[in-house]
Amino acid sequence: MGFNMIVLMKQVPDTSNVQEGAMKSDGTVNRDALPAIINPEDLCALEEALKIKETHGGHITVISMGPLKAEQALKFTLCLGADKAILLSDRRFAASDTLATSYTLSKAIEKIGAYDIIFCGRQAIDGDTAQVGPQVAEKLGLNQLTYVFEIVDLSKGHITVKREISNGYERAKAPLPILLTITSAANIPRPPSVKKAMAFKKLSAKEPSLVEADFPLQLWDAEFISADPTRCGLKGSATKVKKVESVVLKTREKKEIEPTLSSISSLMKELIHDHIIG
Amino acid sequence: MANFFKDNEDINFLLDNIELSEIIKLKEKNFSEKDEYPYAPQDVDEAMENYKLALDVLGDICGTIIAPRAKEVDEQGARFIDGEVKYADGTKEALKRLAQADLMGFTIPRRYGGINFPKTIYSIAIEMVSRADASLMTLFGLQEIADTIYRFGSEEQRKRYLPLFCSGEYSGAMALTEPDAGSDLPAVSVKATIGDDGKWYLNGVKRFITNGCGDVILVLARSEPNLKGARGLSLFIYKRDDTMKIRRIEDKLGIHGSPTCELMFNNSPCELLGQRKLGLIKYTFSLMNGARLGVAAQAVGIAEAAFREAYSYAKSREQFGNAIINFPQVYEMLLDMKTDIEAARRLVFFTSNIVDLKEGLEELDSENLLDKSLKKDLKKYTRYAGFLTPMSKIFATEMANKVCYDAIQIHGGVGYTKDFEVERLSRDARVTNIYEGTTQIQVNAAIGGVITGVLFDLCEELKEEIEFHDLKEGIYDLKENLRACIDYVKQMDNSEFQQFHARRLVEMGSFIVISCLLSKDAKYSEKKGHIARYFLNKAICKTADYKKQILSSTHLVINLKDNIL
């Protein structure tokens, strides 16, 4: 039996390759100055999905929200073995924070309908928030397993994984459907198939009204996924950038924070005091 | 991360400037598969685009997966455990990646699962893989085995074996050498006999078999017990089973990742490839020519890696308050390295072009599609390929050894330690002028083309495209000197005397072919012009030296052996 899988993917500036002009004077990233790559952990997430497809069979849909030029990155995921890639592109999606992004992605997932596993990279190398995956799970009312570095078993409607925790790992089992966030320790992603790369090189994304339902590279907008425009993009974003400061972290020791209201609140105070957030 | 295709200016130069349309049209049979396979090209431009795309994927695998593991593969090596060969971890990882990328059926037609690329592109691919890890080339480069099954096997055999080679499930080996039949292959003694069941069986020992642990082995064996020499040999396909034992693997100086096996066949069932008696004279000859070109490309790759190491070390290492690259004795070594690498690459590229044209026409010929003029072309390319293949191997592999030698020299003391790559590269390079026929054997194969004047015919053709007068003149000088040497040697009418000077003559021939090619390219880039002139200048000096040596010698030189040794 096969699994229906969805992989969430983000195109990011290659922050491992930062050169001059990488930041604008207003403190935002100058995306034109950095080469765009697929977020590395998203490729690890896709690799896990591909491994499941190889052993159990199934269907993989990759979804990415981004500008039209993210089409190339989505095409690359087809060359890796994804069956379908969907680019969520609409001017109204621009300048989304994690809240708006997770809303938009969850609407697209609802549009797809049936799924067993949603894969995300743990976090993107540009924002480093690690929020989008968990937020999508919340919005869909799904169980989630984060920081996964190994899928141990997948059978009888359950998945067993190993997830990274501080000082070790935890083995967790959960029923499907589920959302997983995958870390880079999970695998080394495969190279693309050159046969597919040759076959797909001239493919371009098409709106769903113009193609068959299984057309491999599609372009979806806000209407198509029935998204409320006020919850998308800049309008739907709760994050407002006031000012950007360069903060150099000095301490190297780590602290364990108990998940209680009082200790989280004292952590917040400390972080604000140190200008790490605020 | 490094991409071994994108970062190689010279490979890109060749692909951007050298006309390959004839080769592509032959390989693609005028694009007859364009509607059948989504990855088949529509025209020449799309084919070129596909080649670059595939090389880009391979370049990335080489730079990010293969090269970073080369040191570990060298240290761990292929091991022999409980009668079975285990590849090094890095080798396994690399093979997996190459198969995932659909790169294990490079030259095989699409209907058997391959990507149907010409040898010209395959040679570049081999070079890139070898730059990353020379030992892996013996596995990646063994696609020649599948190619031999394609060229000479039955349709049923093709269908049975080729898809599994292309998917990476099968790896191959060619079992030619025996303890007493190395360079002298006609002396092969492994027996192939027909059993009561009408099937063929193999008995005997093969030695120095690269990847002898492979799934499918092409075995050269004596099928005609009453026929001594080459005509009694046939080529067999052996599919690995329990009857064949691997007795040991060699503990070698280099290419540790590549297992070199001793095999013992014990009533091992096999099947005939092609026709009886043609095993050595036709099939193995073809197989080995492919492998020789592959080794030439491998040598270029190793040299490229060594040059890059030496160049970056020379730029960063300071002595006497100055980076050592600024010292003339150091930068001269680097100039020689760079020039000779581009020279060898050009020769291998050109030879691959000729082999592609030859094989493309051969395929048409087998379908009786050649008119008179194309038949003439086929004859010409066959003659050219006959001497260019061994000539490429000689030049490229001797060059690689010299480049690695100098790369260690530039590093000084640390180059002699395992802390730097160059010692491994040097060990790996050392096999290239030995296996698939030593340089001395290659000289025997190439000398005919030089002495009979085929080489001069080729140069007449190449000369047409040279635009610069000074380069033309220099090449004229080389040719006249070689002609004088050939005349002198012929006039001595002594075959041992000719053999004594054969290597010099072949080398002088290679200087001419390479000078023509580099000079031809000078019109595309100023830098190539500099390289052509630098190479030509050295060639003129060496040729003058060889000429003196040859013309001042008499048949007495062959007596020196008895007088001194």
Q: Are A108 and A88 in contact (CB under 8 A)?
A: yes
Q: Work out the minimum CA distance from A185 to partner chain B, whole angstroms.
A: 16
Considering the entire predicted model, what is its pTM?
Answer: 0.92
Which one of the listed residues B127, B262, B309, B436 is annotated catalytic?
Answer: B436
Please answer whether residues A98 and A239 qualify as being in contact, where contact means their C-beta atoms are separated by less than 8 angstroms: yes
CA B97, B98, B99 angle in degrees (round to 5)? 90
Identify from B39, B92, B110, B169 which residue to disrupt to test chain A contact, counting A C-beta atoms within 10 A and taking the largest count. B39
- Does B367 qualify as catalytic in the annotation? no
Q: Nearest residue on chain A to B65, judged by CA atoms?
A: A188
The alpha helices in A96-205, defined as continuous H runs, are 98-112, 132-140, 194-200
* Cβ–Cβ below 8 Å for B57 and A194: yes
Across the interface, whether the CB atoms of A199 and B49 are under 8 A apart is answered no
Q: Chains A, B: CB contacts under 8 A, how many? A: 46
**Beta bridge pairs of residue A9:** A64
What dihedral do alpha carbons B399, B404, B407, B409 form, nearest 10°? -100
- Asked if A196's CB is within 8 angstroms of B39's CB, the reply is yes
Q: Sign of torsion, CA B437 B440 B443 B445?
A: negative
Give the integer Cα–Cα distance in Å for B344 and A10. Answer: 44
> Kind of pairing, strands B172-175 and A217-220?
unpaired
CA distance A150 to chain B (A): 18
Give the pLDDT of residue B518. 98
Chain B residue with minimal CA distance to A76? B57
> Between chains, do A191 and B50 touch, taking CB under 8 Å as contact?
no
For the domain with range A3-231, which CATH number is right: 3.40.50.720, 3.40.50.1220, 3.30.429.10, 3.40.50.620?
3.40.50.620
Scored b (16 or more CB within 10 A) or e, B225-258 reads: eeeeebebbbbbbbebeebbebeebbebebbbbb
- A-chain residues within 8 Å CB-CB of B97? 190-191
Chain B residues closer than 8 Å to A196 by CB: 39, 102
Chain A contact set for B53 (CB, 8 A)? 194, 197-198, 201
Q: Which CATH architecture has domain B172-277?
A: Beta Barrel (2.40)
Which among B353, B352, B363, B350 is positioned nearest to B510, based on CA atoms? B350
Q: What does the pLDDT average to over A174-183?
A: 95
Encoded tokens for B4: 């071994």
The H or E element spanning position B449 is helix B439-451
Per-residue pLDDT, averaged over A51-78, amounts to: 95
The alpha carbon of residue B37 is apart from the nearest alpha carbon of chain A, in Å, by: 8
Angstrom distances, CA of residue B118 to CA of B55, B98, B101, B390, B421? 13, 18, 18, 19, 32
Q: What is the pLDDT of residue B142?
A: 79
Pick the CATH number of B9-168+281-429 from 1.10.3720.10, 3.90.420.10, 3.90.78.10, 1.20.140.10: 1.20.140.10
User: Which residues on A lie below 8 Å from B57 (Cβ)?
Assistant: 191-192, 194, 197
Average pLDDT over residues A6-25: 80
B-interface mutation test, from A194, A200, A202, A203, most B Cβ less than 10 A away: A194
Domain range summary for chain B, segments of one domain joined by +? 9-168+281-429, 172-277, 445-557
* CATH architecture, range B445-557: Up-down Bundle (1.20)
- Residues ≥6 apart with Cβ < 8 Å to B126: B137, B140, B141, B294, B297, B298, B301
Question: Is the pLDDT assigned to residue A244 strictly greater than 70?
Answer: yes
Q: Is A235's pLDDT higher than 70?
A: yes
Q: Is A195 in contact with B97 (Cβ distance < 8 A)?
A: no
Which among A16, A75, A80, A195 is the top mutation candidate for probing chain B, defined by the most B β-carbons within 10 Å of its own β-carbon? A195
**Chain B contact for A275 (CB, 8 A cutoff):** no
> How far is it, in rounded angstroms, from Cα B439 to Cα A161?
57
For residues B422 and B309, the answer to whether their CB atoms sit within 8 Å is yes
What is the DSSP secondary structure assignment for residue A184, as one 8-state letter?
G
Probe site for chain A from B65, B66, B95, B102 (most A CB atoms < 10 A): B102
- Of B9, B5, B23, B27, which is closest to residue B353 (Cα–Cα)? B23
* H-run or E-run covering B235: strand B233-239
Report in angstroms the alpha-carbon separations of B533 from B333, B506, B522, B541: 16, 21, 9, 12
Q: Does B45 touch chain A (CB under 8 A)?
A: no
Nearest 5°: phi and psi at A150?
A: -155, 135
Of B315, B326, B328, B337, which is closest to residue B407 (Cα–Cα)?
B337
Tokens encoding B316: 């960063």
Closest partner residue to A194 (CB to CB) among B41, B65, B102 is: B102
Distance from CA of B94 to the nearest CA of A (A): 11
Spell out which residues of chain A touch residue B100, defining contact as CB-CB under 8 Å.
190-191, 193
Provide the 10 A C-beta neighbour count for residue A212.
Answer: 8
Interchain proximity A194–B101, CB inside 8 Å: yes
Q: Is B402 exposed, middle or buried (0-12, 13-18, 19+ CB in 10 A)?
A: middle
Between the CA of residue A34 and those of A14, A16, A127, A205, what are the distances in Å? 6, 10, 15, 24
**B52: contact with A, CB 8 A cutoff:** no
Facing residue for A197 by CB, picked from B57, B65, B100: B57
Q: Exposed, middle or buried: residue B84 (CB in 10 Å: 0-12, 13-18, 19+)?
A: exposed
Whether the CB of B139 is below 8 Å from some CB of chain A: the reply is no
What pLDDT sits at residue A20?
Answer: 72
User: What pLDDT is attached to residue B393?
Assistant: 98
| Residues 187-206 of chain A whose Cβ lies under 8 A from any Cβ of chain B | 188, 190-199, 201
Distance of alpha carbon B536 from alpha carbon B542, whole angstroms: 10
Residue A27: band (very low, low, confident or very high) from pLDDT cuts 50, 70, 90:
low
Residues of B in contact with A53 (CB under 8 A): none
Residue of A19 and B45 predicted with greater confidence = B45
What local confidence, expressed as pLDDT, does residue B222 receive? 97
Please check whether residue B394 is in contact with residue B506, taking contact to mean a CB–CB distance below 8 angstroms.
yes
d(CA B32, CA B41): 9
- The alpha helices in A36-126, defined as continuous H runs, are 40-56, 71-80, 98-112
For residues A192 and A79, the answer to whether their CB atoms sit within 8 Å is yes
User: B460 and B454 in contact (C-beta within 8 Å)?
Assistant: no
Residue A238 near residue A226, CB atoms below 8 Å: no
Residue among B391, B141, B130, B106 at smallest CA distance from B291: B141
Q: What is the pLDDT of residue A241?
A: 77
A206 vs B31: CA distance, rounded Å = 28
pLDDT at residue B221 in the model: 97
A55–chain B nearest CA distance, Å: 15
Chain centroid offset of residue B510 CA: 16
**Residue for token pair 């030859």:** B358
Beta bridge partners of B200: B194, B270
Q: What is the pLDDT of residue A32?
A: 73
A192 and B50 in contact by Cβ < 8 A?
no
pLDDT higher than threshold 90 for residue A164: yes
Residues in chain B, pLDDT under 50: none
Query: H or E stretch including B136?
Result: helix B134-140
ipTM for this model: 0.91
Task: For chain B, report the end-to-end CA distance as a whole number of angstroms.
Answer: 54
* Sign of the dihedral defined by the CA atoms of residues B508, B514, B517, B522, in that order: negative
Give contacts of A192 with chain B, Cβ < 8 Å.
57, 101
Sign (positive or negative) of CA dihedral A101, A104, A107, A109:
negative
Assigned token pair, A9: 């993917």
- Going by C-alpha positions, the residue among B126, B183, B168, B92 that lies closest to residue B435 is B183
Minimum CA–CA partner of A195 in chain B: B39
Q: B205 pairs with which residues across the strands?
A: B264
Q: Cβ separation of B53 and A190 shorter than 8 Å?
A: no
Q: What's CA B497's distance to the chain center, in Å?
A: 29
| A188, A190, A194: residue with CB nearest B54 | A194
Chain B residues lying within 8 Å of A51, measured CB to CB:
none
Report whether B265 contacts B188 (CB < 8 A): no
| Chain B residues touching residue A199 (CB < 8 angstroms) | 37-39
How many angstroms away from the CA of B506 is the closest CA of chain A?
40
On whether any CB of chain A is under 8 Å from the CB of B65, the answer is yes
Amino acid in position B252:
K
Q: What are phi and psi of B221, to 5 degrees?
A: -145, 160
pLDDT for position A26: 64
Instruction: Check CB contact under 8 Å for A188 and B57.
Output: no
